[in-house]
Amino acid sequence: MSRARVARRIAQAAAYGGGGISLLGGAAVGLLLTEVALARRIVGGSDAVAPRADGRYGSLFVHAEPPLILGFLGDSTAAGQGVHRARETPGALLASGLAAVAERPVRLVNVANPGAQSDDLARQVTQLLDGEGVVPDACVIMIGANDVTRRMPLAKSVRFLSDAVRRLREAGSEVVVGTCPDLGSVEPVQQPLRWVARRLSRQLAAAQTIAVVGLGGRTVSLGALLGPEFESRPREMFGPDNYHPSAEGYATAAMAMLPSLCAGLGLWPEDRPDARRGEGVLPVAQAAAAAASEGGTEVAAAVGAASGPRGRWALLMRRRRRRLPDAAASGPEPADFSPSGA
């Protein structure tokens, strides 16, 4: 069965409350669990606390009030675990980049929780909308890796994400989702776990895309943690625990997501799709499957395109990455977290 068909089935199961879709037999599961135990001992993980990067960015534009509000939700990758400086986290990098493009200050509110699975997104959305008392202009969600490693049924994972995106969209936020990274790119993981991890990661990423686009959000494929750089230069792109990105890895991720974030806010010129680059309008499941295989690929709803016999249509874009401004020069400043400070 093609990845597009499997992703469509997962998304449909999520929408209608169905169970997970099993891709492995019993013997394969036993072998996989053995490989998982070995990989965990090799990879290890990190107990380091992610640096807190909340605050205002874009000090050059202090007189251009009010600031844009950027919400960040998800797991340890969204929190920026694996780096030591706030300016190296993806939230800080995107807030700085957004401020430079918009020529307005940006207030970053990060409620991501290291170790989170998609079932924690409901709590994070409540914390953001009710606890912080703000409605972000845009939200970035990075989630999915822990759902795969802890064997959450894929349909449940997509359903939790869909609920979170729906709440944020109904509140008035633009939403960009960095889909499940390709766990097959984690260097210490060996075959056959590498193949299984890659397959599950990409199936989840494709199903996430179908669900998010259907709710009016955009997705950016994190692929092999945002591109071939991670496979060709793992020593530079992964952090000390061989699992979370390094500062350079997070910068690569942020460069890939910034154009989609700006496009969602109407700050980025809408490029015409270039067929030579494989861009264009496709059935959403086909676009989702293609994006899952290539890091940095954006999928959004196709404007003005009605649904066809294979479902709704989506626009697949491979946006050119832009160099990010120095986060250290633009923030963070101490943030006022009261509603009036928004």
Which residues are known to be catalytic? 76, 241, 244
Centre a 10 Å sphere on the Cβ of residue 275 and count the other Cβ atoms it contains: 8
Q: What are phi and psi of 220, to 5 degrees?
A: -125, 125
Query: For residues 281 and 275, what is the distance between their CA atoms, to the nearest angstrom?
Result: 10
Query: For residues 135 and 125, what is the distance between their CA atoms, to the nearest angstrom?
Result: 10
Element holding 329 (H helix, E strand): helix 327-330
Given 3-state DSSP classes, what are the helix, strand and coil percentages for the chain, each rounded to the nearest 5?
45, 15, 40
Length of the chain: 342
Strand, helix or coil at 199?
Answer: helix
Element holding 3 (H helix, E strand): helix 3-16
Helices (H), 150-246: 154-171, 193-214, 229-232, 234-237
CB 321 within 8 A of CB 255: yes
